Amino acid sequence: MSDINWPALQSAAQQAAAQAYAPYSQFPVGVAVLAESGNIYTGCNVENASYGGTVCAERNAIAAAVVAGERKFRALLVYTPQPALTPPCGICRQVIAEFFSPDAPVASCNHLQQQQLWTLGELLPAAFTPTYLANSSKVGA
């Protein structure tokens, strides 16, 4: 984790948060993901009047990277200009688990320069992924 340029990720996520479309929650979020290639991809939350149509920043960043051909990632940082540090929501944790290893660092930071760091495994233990399913014991075996 020491070789991750956290200030660069925070800057990219902060710029992404400035582009968020959050007219309903007033809760802009920006995310930066660091791919194995070294490239940084960003996303912001895009809300919709039909709340189920809202897409979180984490999923937008990962989708942008996937469109660019990325499939493996090293780190993710969530930024919001709110006092609360905000980890990824449940559905985003599941999407993150599809592309990140359980020991990948996931950080949350805010405009007050507060930061918290977890591993994906801490945020989503026993994640439902093809790797987990292939390595889990069979029920009734």
Kindly list the catalytic residues: 58
In contact, 106 and 124? CB cutoff 8 Å:
no
Looking at residue 116, what DSSP letter applies?
A: E
Annotated binding site for Zn(2+): 56, 89, 92
Place of tokens 């920006």: 30
In whole angstroms, give the CA distance from residue 45 to residue 82. 14
**H/E segment holding residue 31:** strand 30-35
Residues of each annotated binding site? 45-51, 56, 89, 92
